[in-house]
């Protein structure tokens, strides 16, 4: 079992002040695989002090120096890809092949995106009668989730380094080891002491202390909408900037007469991949009534053909969901759909027949789902698709927008017709016959999906302050 019982503060590994031991449960075996120490407010205080001390010097480094530093971090990351993937696979259940092909590489892509944004960034802009400067914002608290752990860490760490900020990272206690590997990479790359600090911990402990800390200038949070509200409330008295990427309930609006055999299968993999634990997964399939039967048949066949098996095995299967709480939530939503009158087309409650332990969920498809059902409205975060028919395209657009969330959406069908629809969808990312945004495009949502953007130039700007100099 891995043991990461110390935090990384001021360039050194340091024991916690009063923290409790926490064991991470392998979701495939239901047995402990990693131990960490949950950080305390005192640990956060020490990390903030180190970051504050480092900020004055690091914020004044030249962009060329930070480019060279990012290059060394990227090189170190490449050398540790296998370690990162192995930790993610064991702690959150991603099959090892998927962890190597998707989970770990996305973190690298985020770091490269930050480097490209920094390389071409305009630090000064002339306006009539003045000058606008972009500057580092200060000490930034980073609170990240377990579902794409290193991706979300790198999406925040990269722009912090590029902007000249210092930071305190609190990764999810469900998947902490990839952050430890990153701390080792940062140290080896020569990141100055105090620029990057790592505090392991949970939301009510270290997370709440970071959000409320008066000497933290900004907090960037990725996680549930409920968690984001708690962070914003804790941050409000100190009037710090709050940057959030929260939940989603993405529609896939299948256009009338769409070629579903050509375009739909790839979108369905977006629901199944990572065992459905992806905030932009296009889980709500909206289809014109005349194609309802065909979409139901294809979706059911794809889900039925998707194997569920151990993360240790190679192959094109999905693994378990991250923990017991997540498994129970998905099961409750599946049962609610049945009770509320949805048609179960594939899968259903309980574990797949080929496993007898672990938090494995049957790939599940529901038809005849209506907007009044819980499963239409609540984020499932599992390998579950819902199919809702519409009669007119106007009704389909209305159904797509009938959500509290607005992180992403997909449109399946004729690209020319899709172009007339995408501007009407209330979502931060809209894919035409796809759903995942490019690495340098801004990522973030509308409504209860949060505020702010990550990735590329837009992500770099969101981690900076703007100063106007008036030239008399």
Q: Enumerate long-range contacts of 325-331, CB under 8 Å, 24 or more apart.
A: 326/277, 326/359, 326/381, 326/382, 327/359, 327/361, 329/381, 330/361, 330/380, 330/381, 330/382, 330/384, 331/361
Nearest to 43 by CA among 213, 297, 230: 213
Query: How are beta strands 241-245 and 450-451 bridged, if at all?
Result: antiparallel
Annotated active-site residue 173? The verdict is no
CA–CA separation, 254 vs 432, rounded Å? 10
In the structure encoding, which two tokens stand for residue 279, read together?
């905030």
Annotated active-site residue 33? The verdict is no
Which residue is catalytic, options 245, 296, 379, 454? 245
CA–CA separation, 94 vs 318, rounded Å? 7
List beta partners, residue 3.
35
Q: Residue 15, Cβ neighbours under 10 Å: how many?
A: 11
Instruction: Give burial (CB, 10 Å; 0-12/13-18/19+) of 351.
Output: middle
Which residue is catalytic, options 160, 175, 178, 279? 279
Report the C-alpha dihedral over residues 249, 386, 26, 355, rounded to 10 degrees: 180
Q: Answer for the pair 164, 192: CB distance below 8 angstroms, yes or no.
A: no
Residues recognised as catalytic? 245, 279
């Amino acid at each position: 079992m891995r043991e990461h019982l110390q935090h990384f503060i001021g360039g050194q590994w340091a024991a916690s002040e009063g923290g409790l031991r926490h064991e991470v449960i392998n979701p495939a075996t239901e047995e402990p695989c990693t131990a960490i120490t949950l950080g305390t407010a005192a640990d956060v205080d020490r990390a903030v002090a180190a970051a504050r001390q480092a900020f004055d010097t690091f914020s004044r480094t030249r962009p060329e120096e930070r480019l060279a530093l990012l290059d060394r971090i990227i090189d170190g990351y490449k050398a540790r890809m296998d370690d990162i993937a192995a930790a993610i696979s064991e702690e959150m259940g991603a099959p090892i092949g998927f962890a190597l092909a998707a989970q770990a590489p996305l973190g690298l892509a985020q770091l490269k995106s930050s480097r490209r944004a920094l390389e071409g960034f305009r630090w000064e802009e002339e306006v009539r009668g003045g000058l606008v400067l972009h500057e580092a914002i200060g000490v930034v608290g980073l609170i990240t989730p377990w579902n794409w752990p290193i991706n979300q860490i790198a999406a925040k760490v990269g722009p912090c380094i590029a902007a000249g900020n210092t930071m305190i990272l609190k990764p999810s206690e469900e998947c902490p080891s990839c952050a430890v590997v990153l701390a080792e990479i940062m140290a080896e790359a020569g990141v100055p002491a105090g620029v990057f600090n790592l505090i392991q911990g949970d939301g009510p402990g270290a997370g709440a202390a970071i959000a409320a800390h008066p000497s933290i200038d900004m907090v960037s949070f990725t996680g549930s909408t409920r968690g984001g509200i708690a962070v914003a409330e804790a941050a409000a008295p100190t009037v710090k900037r709050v940057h959030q990427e929260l939940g989603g309930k993405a529609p896939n609006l299948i256009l009338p007469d769409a070629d579903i055999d050509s375009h739909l299968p790839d979108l369905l993999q977006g629901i199944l991949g990572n065992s459905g634990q992806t905030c932009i997964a296009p889980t709500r399939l909206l289809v014109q009534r005349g194609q309802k039967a065909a979409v139901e048949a294809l979706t059911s066949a794809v889900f039925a053909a998707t194997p569920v098996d151990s993360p240790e095995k190679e192959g094109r299967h999905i693994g378990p969901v991250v923990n017991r709480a997540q498994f129970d939530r998905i099961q409750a939503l599946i049962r609610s759909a049945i009770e509320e009158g949805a048609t179960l087309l594939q899968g259903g409650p309980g574990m797949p027949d080929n496993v007898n332990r672990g938090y494995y969920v049957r790939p599940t498809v529901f038809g005849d789902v209506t907007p009044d059902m819980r499963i239409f409205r609540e984020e499932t975060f599992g390998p579950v698709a819902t199919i809702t028919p519409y009669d007119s395209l106007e009704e389909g657009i209305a159904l797509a927008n009938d959500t509290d969330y607005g992180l992403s959406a997909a449109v399946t069908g004729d690209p020319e017709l899709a172009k007339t629809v995408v501007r009407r969808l209330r979502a931060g990312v809209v894919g035409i016959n796809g759903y995942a945004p490019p690495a340098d495009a801004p990522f973030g949502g509308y409504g209860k999906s949060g505020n702010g953007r990550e990735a590329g130039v837009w992500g770099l700007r969101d981690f900076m302050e703007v100063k106007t100099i008036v030239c008399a």
